[in-house]
């Protein structure tokens, strides 16, 4: 017990829901800050289990089982990151145990894209119009005549671009509904107007009611029909007046959804005419290194550190702690094939002065890149010019791809 007191400040214990590649950055950060970390994941081989102080194989969508574990361990805070699957579980634990966290009502609304769109429309939060929720194939005949093509079809509760597609013609509507439902936990889809614009990401944190809009990020996306993320960068390149409008829309959305505490990750489109359309919201820290690399480097704010402190009711500071720099990431969307031999990533990182975060192993099967889950890692480049950072990260991704020997 004496060792525990020296190692962990005030003996505070954090429960992390999810132990995957991206959640592991939060686990390692919390450990480096001296907190005692528990990790839950349904995968017995979850990466985070190697770094957490204690772990258990429990499905993170099982609210009852996760709550029982949290009570048994008497945790001081609960978090999830980079996945929507465990948001309701996180909120449930926080409410029942009187810990900091998003209220369950708001968390449940945000999990349903149709409910989100309805609330944002009523609050005039952005410039987007109608949306339709589809609960079964039988509803298609009723909804189809109301559609104005092209439209965007998504799972009502999905994340990471899974199940999302652009639908150009009525003939493709049913197929798109089935594809969206396949990516939904509840087997439901939502149809929205397709907006032709450039996509951006916005990361925010609500600290006990105080809304902090941390960063607006430019994004690189795949071509239709899948619209998967390929990278982020700061600065956003958006003109100051338009960025103010973006932040105003985000602020209104957070208020309309009743978010009282926690991370809020948003994706939005900006048209050539300056209209802002919020297209996705997650009540958790964004994935794709947003919390671990992009926001801290691009803003100087210790995002993950503050998120962790807030979760266990420790003091936070949302001012920059170091000089912001331009930063860009590129997902390792690689040529498909089975990995026979990997390059020396440390050597590549040193040669090009970049960070490489990956989860590749010999014998892995690299799949065609259609969603974020098909990515094999990331290249991170930072400096003084964002365009140079983007170009370097892109070049290094190509070097890595060409250096992998496939069977």
Q: How confident is the model at residue 370 (pLDDT cuts 50, 70, 90)?
A: very high
Asked if the peptide bond before residue 61 counts as cis, ω within 30 degrees of 0, the response is no
Tokens coding 143: 């909804």
Residue 3 has pLDDT above 70, yes or no: no
Q: Band the pLDDT of 233: cuts 50, 70, 90.
A: very high
Three-state SS annotation for 183-217: CCCCCCEEEEECCCCEEEEEEEEEECCEEEEEEEE
Angle in degrees, CA 259, 93, 43, rounded to 5: 110
Report the pLDDT value the prediction gives residue 226, as an integer from 0 to 100.
Answer: 76
Rounded Cα distance, 111 and 87, in Å? 8
Beta-bridge mates of residue 167: 151
φ, ψ of residue 225 to 5 degrees: the values are -100, 0
Q: What is the pLDDT of residue 329?
A: 98
User: Which pLDDT score is estimated for 5?
Assistant: 33
What is the CATH topology of the domain spanning 198-324?
D-amino Acid Aminotransferase; Chain A, domain 1 (3.30.470)
Whether 2 shows a pLDDT value over 60: the answer reads no
Domain boundaries 130-193, CATH class: alpha beta
pLDDT of the residue at 10: 65
pLDDT of residue 160: 65
Residue 224 predicted with pLDDT over 50: yes
Domain boundaries, the chain: 2-99, 130-193, 198-324, 327-406
The token pair that represents 63 in the structure block: 């609210």
Model confidence at 1, in pLDDT bands (50, 70, 90)? very low
What are the backbone dihedrals phi and psi of residue 44, each rounded to the nearest 5 degrees, phi first? Answer: -65, -15
Average pLDDT over residues 213-226: 92
Residue pair 345/242 in contact by the 8 Å Cβ criterion:
no
Could you give the C-alpha distances from 277 to 197, 253, 254, 273, in angstroms and in order?
9, 11, 14, 12
pLDDT in tens, 136-158: 999 999 999 999 999 999 999 87
CA distance 259 to 120: 13
Structure tokens at 204: 């925010």
The reported pLDDT for the residue numbered 158 is 75
Please state the rounded mean pLDDT for residues 262-283.
97
**Sheet (strand 229-234) strand order:** 276-282, 262-270, 198-207, 210-221, 229-234, 326-331, 377-383, 355-358
Structure tokens belonging to residue 100: 């900091």
3-state secondary structure of 220: strand
pLDDT surpasses 70 at 9? no
Residue 8 has pLDDT above 70, yes or no: no
Q: For residue 395, is pLDDT > 80? A: yes
Range in 30-39, 184-193, 211-220, 386-395 with the lowest mean pLDDT: 184-193
Segment 346-349 long-range contacts (CB within 8 Å, at least 24 positions apart): 348/396, 348/399, 348/400, 348/403
27: left (phi over 0), alpha (psi -120 to 50) or beta: alpha
Average model confidence (pLDDT) across the chain: 95
Query: What's the pLDDT score for residue 34?
Result: 96
Report the C-alpha gap between 82 and 22 in whole angstroms: 6
Q: pLDDT digit string (tens) for 46-56?
A: 999 999 999 99
For the cut 90, the answer to whether the pLDDT of residue 344 exceeds it is yes
Place of tokens 């996705």: 280
For 278, residues 6+ apart whose C-beta sits below 8 A from its C-beta are 120, 125, 126, 128, 249, 250, 253, 266, 267, 268
**CATH number of this structure's domain 2-99, picked from the four choices 3.40.390.10, 3.40.50.20, 3.40.50.450, 3.60.130.10:** 3.40.50.20
Task: Report the greatest alpha carbon distance in the chain.
Answer: 69
């Amino acid at each position: 017990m004496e060792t525990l007191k020296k190692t962990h400040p005030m003996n505070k214990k954090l429960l992390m829901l999810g132990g995957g590649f991206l959640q592991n950055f939060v686990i390692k950060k919390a450990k480096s800050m001296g907190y005692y970390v528990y990790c839950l994941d349904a995968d017995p081989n979850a990466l985070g289990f190697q770094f957490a102080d204690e772990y258990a194989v429990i499905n993170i969508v099982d609210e009852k089982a996760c709550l029982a574990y949290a009570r048994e361990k008497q945790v001081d805070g609960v978090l999830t990151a980079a996945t929507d699957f465990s948001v309701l579980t996180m909120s449930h634990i926080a409410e029942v145990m009187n810990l900091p966290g998003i209220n369950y009502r708001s968390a449940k609304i945000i999990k349903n894209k149709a409910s989100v769109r309805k609330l944002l429309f009523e609050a005039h939060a952005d410039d987007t119009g109608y949306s339709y929720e589809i609960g079964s194939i039988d509803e298609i005949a009723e909804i189809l005549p109301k559609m104005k093509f092209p439209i965007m079809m998504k799972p009502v509760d999905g994340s990471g671009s899974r199940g999302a597609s652009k639908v150009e013609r009525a003939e493709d509507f049913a197929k798109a509904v089935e594809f969206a439902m396949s990516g939904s936990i509840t087997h439901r889809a939502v149809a929205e107007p397709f907006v032709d614009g450039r996509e951006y990401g916005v990361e925010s944190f609500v600290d006990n009611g105080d809304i902090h809009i941390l960063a607006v990020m430019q994004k690189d996306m795949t071509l239709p029909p899948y619209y998967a993320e390929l990278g982020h960068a700061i600065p956003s390149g958006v003109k100051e007046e338009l960025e103010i409008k973006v932040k105003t829309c985000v602020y209104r959305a957070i208020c309309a959804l009743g978010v009282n505490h926690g991370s809020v990750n948003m994706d939005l489109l900006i048209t050539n005419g300056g209209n802002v359309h919020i297209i996705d919201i997650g009540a958790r820290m964004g994935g794709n290194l947003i919390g671990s690399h992009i926001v801290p480097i691009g803003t100087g704010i210790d995002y993950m550190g503050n998120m962790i402190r807030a979760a266990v009711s420790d003091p936070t500071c949302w001012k920059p702690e170091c000089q912001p720099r331009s930063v860009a990431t590129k997902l390792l969307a690689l040529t498909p094939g089975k990995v026979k031999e990997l390059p020396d990533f440390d050597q590549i990182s040193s040669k090009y002065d970049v960070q490489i975060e990956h989860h590749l192993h010999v014998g892995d099967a690299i799949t065609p890149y259609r969603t974020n889950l098909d990515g094999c890692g990331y290249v991170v480049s930072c400096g003084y010019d964002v365009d140079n950072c983007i170009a370097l990260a892109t070049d290094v991704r190509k070097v890595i791809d060409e250096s992998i020997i496939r069977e």
